[in-house]
Amino acid sequence: MKNEMELSIAALSQNESFARSTVAAFVSQIDPTMEELTELKTVVSEAVTNAIIHGYDENPNGRIFIQTSIEEDVVTLTITDQGKGIPNIQTAMEPLYTSKPELERSGMGFTIMENFMDEVSIQSTETTGTTVFLKKWLTKSTLPSN
């Protein structure tokens, strides 16, 4: 059976851990391995942090939308901000590229997402915001708990 939730949070750094554990709690319904759960938490953390730092330039009035759906053994995540957008997605996705070295960003966010998920795609328009689509097939999945 398919299940789906949507979470909307204020762009505050203390919500990063809340966001990743909420997604993990939801996905737990389809019995992921501990490793898969850590990978999912990590990518949520990366995308939410990007929305806060890059999308909203740390303006806490911004809102971040996290949609999670689970169906059989597939997890789909959509993380959206209505921030400033990414001028050049190709460049942004390069390992080690960061537009904010002064904040000690490592430029590894998208690289981690690509390594930990099976599908990553980014949609972004300057001034209207960014959406990151992420998809992962769980390996040791059991039947949905219902």
Partner 1 sequence: MELLSELTKEKNVLCVRLTGELDHHTALELRTELDEALKDEDVHHMLLNLEDLRFMDSSGIGVILGRYKTIAAREGEVVVCAISEEVNRIFEMAGMYKVLRLEEGEKSALRTLGVA
Ligand X SMILES: Nc1ncnc2c1ncn2[C@@H]1O[C@H](COP(=O)(O)OP(=O)(O)O)[C@@H](O)[C@H]1O
Question: Which residues contribute to the site for a second copy (CB under 8 A)?
Answer: 1, 3-10, 12, 14-15, 18, 21-22, 25-26, 29, 145-146
Taking CB under 8 A as the criterion, the residue among 8, 13, 91, 139 binding partner 1 is 13
Taking CB under 6 A as the criterion, the residue among 7, 9, 27, 51 binding ligand X is 51
Q: Tell me how far apart the alpha carbons of residues 55 and 49 are, in angstroms, rounded to a whole number.
A: 9
- Confirm whether 46 is a catalytic residue: yes
Which runs of E-coded beta strand occur in the chain? 3-10, 63-71, 74-81, 119-125, 129-137
Bridge-based pairing of strands 119-125 and 74-81 is: unpaired
36 binds, among a second copy, ligand X, partner 1, none (CB under 5 to 8 A by kind): none
Identify which of residues 120 and 138 has a Cβ nearer to ligand X in the complex: 120
Using rule CB under 8 A, residue 28 touches partner 1: no
User: The tokens 């689970």 sit on which residue?
Assistant: 70
* Helix, strand counts (H, E) of the chain: 4, 5
Q: Taking contact as CB under 6 A, which single stretch among the options 4-12, 22-30, 37-45, 96-104 is the one that binds ligand X?
A: 96-104
Q: Are 102 and 85 in contact (CB under 8 A)?
A: no
Of these residues, 3, 15, 105, 114, which one is catalytic?
105
Token pair belonging to 144: 């949905």
Q: Are 123 and 130 in contact (CB under 8 A)?
A: yes
So which residues are the catalytic ones? 46, 50, 105
List contacts with partner 1 (CB under 8 A): 13-14, 16-17, 20, 35, 38-39, 41-42, 45-46, 49, 52-53, 95-96, 103-106, 108-109, 111-112, 115
